[in-house]
Amino acid sequence: MDTELDQRSIAVIRGLALDGPHAARSGHQGTAMALAPLAHVLWTRVMKYDASEPEWADRDRFILSPGHASILLYSMLHLSGHGLTLDDIKDFRQWQSATPGHPEVGHTAGVEVTTGPLGQGFAHGVGMAIAEQSLRARFGAEICDHHIFAMVSDGDLAEGVSHEAASLAGHLGLGRLVYVYDDNHISIDGPTEISLSDDAPARFRAYGWHVIDLGEAGEDLDALETALLDAKAVTDQPSLIVVRTHIGYPSPDYTDHHEAHGYALKDEEITATKAALGIPDEPFYVPDDVVAAYRECGLRGGAARAEWAARLAGFSGDRAALDASLARTGVDGWAAKLPTWDVGDSVATRKASGACVSALADVVPGLMGGGADLTGNTGTKIPGDLLAADNPAGRQIAFGVREHAMGSILNGMALHGGTVPLGGTFLVFSDYMRPAVRLAALMQSKSLFVWTHDSVGVGEDGPTHQPVEHVSALRAIPHLPVVRPADANEVNAMWRAAIDGDGPVAMILTRQDVPVLDGTADAAVEMGAYVLRNGGSNPAVVLAATGSEVAVCVEAAEALAADGVAARVVSMPCWEWFEAQDASYQRSVFPRGVPTLGVEAGVSHGWYRYADDVVAIDRFGASAPGATVLNELGINADNVVSHARSLLA
């Protein structure tokens, strides 16, 4: 039942939605105003959380997928006692404030995911629901029993990534997923009808979702609560609640106006709107009784958290597996289970990675994932059962041809906790995943991206499938380790670093077999670059390469040595790890005054920070057997020797 305090609380939230962007002279007011009643119901009547412990593992998760409405989330976090102060709200969108323009996980307590690009939050939630379902199926409801709630917009539903994620969520029967579609009929350019005529309820029913169409109920608190509770009760389907809201409500001039999507309501409009709301015309008005009521709600989950902590302490199942899953690592001694290879073996790094994944499955209990319809090709097969609606404990995920959603789902799984998610496809299709990969780097989610068929060595499929610029493009993303191992033993080291780490890793792997080289076993792969072949105390030239081209450099160095030229070979599996080392180590790998030749079967972009010349492929590939394409485009020892001699000359 609505009370006077309920309505005043909603008015206060709407007032903050006006004042935050107005103080910043930037932001989005209208959506936050329209969604204030829904947020109020969620945070005071429905969600399970404890504001004093924002990272409690069994809390409900909340995602604001239209992150431009961030002032709404910040208002809820302030009122509920998550640590945001009113001064933080006043500092909205300012330098180093706790209230940036779009929510950022790890930056503001209570923010579960970084949302900004539309559709990503939608897909993140699907990943969270997969993780919740898996933990509950494997360890029991006494350890994991919560829901994923999200507000989603017409923009989220228009983006292709949401279609892919919604399809998979329905297929998997993710019953703990409850989304509310803010059907406000407004886009930046005008009414949504100018570009959108979808029947969203019908579309989601076709995906296998449980759909509740509330119609004009955006202000009806009891109807919103009933719908949310009904959706929570559905255990075998994700739920979509469709509710018609009115952007900018109750502004006399900007309700249902497309300009209310942004920063439209200024001094006079704010005064008129606050009069309609029945609150004082003063900035950042938050009365004590509203705060007190919200703080009580914010702490209400404390008892449930304490009960959960007691159940966790008394857990009688596989405690080692549970602890390793929650810590997102392996059980004691896990690294010793990784396979090793002998010098002279010849194995594609994708196959070596697949052997590592198989070995890790038993000792990294949170490991989950698969391929985008390329599981066998990418070495992302996890032994055991396939995840399915009737087998929620399965750890192998059949993502289907859904690269966009796969990347975002990995992020959601990683942020939820309890899983170490991996997903594989061909490197050329990393373009489809780039928004999710960029967010993984920004959020530092422990998402493991397995990309195979890493060069023109792909061969007959031709230039559409031969990545030449992709490694360089991925290296341009800040804080994303891009690892291109030279051989199977470097793959072993790559996986050790990935499981030990806390953030994302991009794994770049060959289709073709490459030799296992002398010196890669137990090498300092984690340093990013190391001397594989010294070439004597005073090398005349350094040959530096990544991936399959390291073997080419070893062959070239042997040819140069036969002619009396001492060549050092440097394996550079990860530039980002190398950049993190101190200057003295970097100089020990690349000595001053010694010319360096870089070698990589991709574009030369970026190499000149290390090399004086580069053997590279600054063009698209061609359709022919992979070895032929590599040779014809100059990725061979003879060409490396020729360039080294020219460099010395």
Q: Is the backbone peptide bond immediately before 595 cis, with ω within 30 degrees of 0?
A: no
Residue 646 is predicted with a pLDDT of 97
- The 3-state DSSP class for residue 479 equals coil
Instruction: Please write the tens of the pLDDT for every residue from 224-240.
Output: 999 999 999 999 999 99
For the four alpha carbons of 609, 615, 621 and 623, in that order, the dihedral sign comes to negative
Mean pLDDT of 22-29: 97
Q: Is the pLDDT confidence value at 354 over 70?
A: yes
Q: Are 137 and 392 in contact (CB under 8 A)?
A: yes
Report, as an integer, the average pLDDT of 29-34: 98
Kindly give the pairing relationship between strand 541-545 and strand 596-599: parallel
pLDDT, position 1: 58
* Residue 113 Cα distances to 1, 129, 154, 450, 571, angstroms: 32, 13, 19, 22, 36
pTM above 0.85, yes or no: yes
Q: What does the alpha-carbon distance between residue 359 and residue 343 come to, in Å, rounded to a whole number? A: 20
Concatenated DSSP letters of 164-233: HHHHHHHHHT-TTEEEEEEE--EETTEEGGGT----HHHHHHHHT-EEEEEES-TT-HHHHHHHHHHHHH
> What is the rounded average pLDDT of the residues 69-91?
98
Model confidence over 558-606: pLDDT tens digits?
Answer: 999 999 999 999 999 999 999 999 999 999 999 999 999 999 999 999 9
For residues 621 and 468, is the Cβ–Cβ distance under 8 A? yes
pLDDT digits (tens, 9 = 90+) for 293-348: 999 999 999 999 999 999 999 999 999 999 999 999 999 999 999 999 999 999 99
Q: Alpha-carbon distance 36 to 29, whole Å?
A: 11
For residue 333, give the 3-state DSSP assignment: coil
Domains along the sequence of the chain with CATH: 4-304 (3.40.50.970), 334-515 (3.40.50.970), 527-648 (3.40.50.920)
Residue 535's pLDDT is 86
Q: Which residues are catalytic?
A: 403
Q: Which of 619, 359, 341 is nearest to 468 (CA)?
A: 619
- The rounded distance, in Å, linking the Cα atoms of 507 and 108 is 30
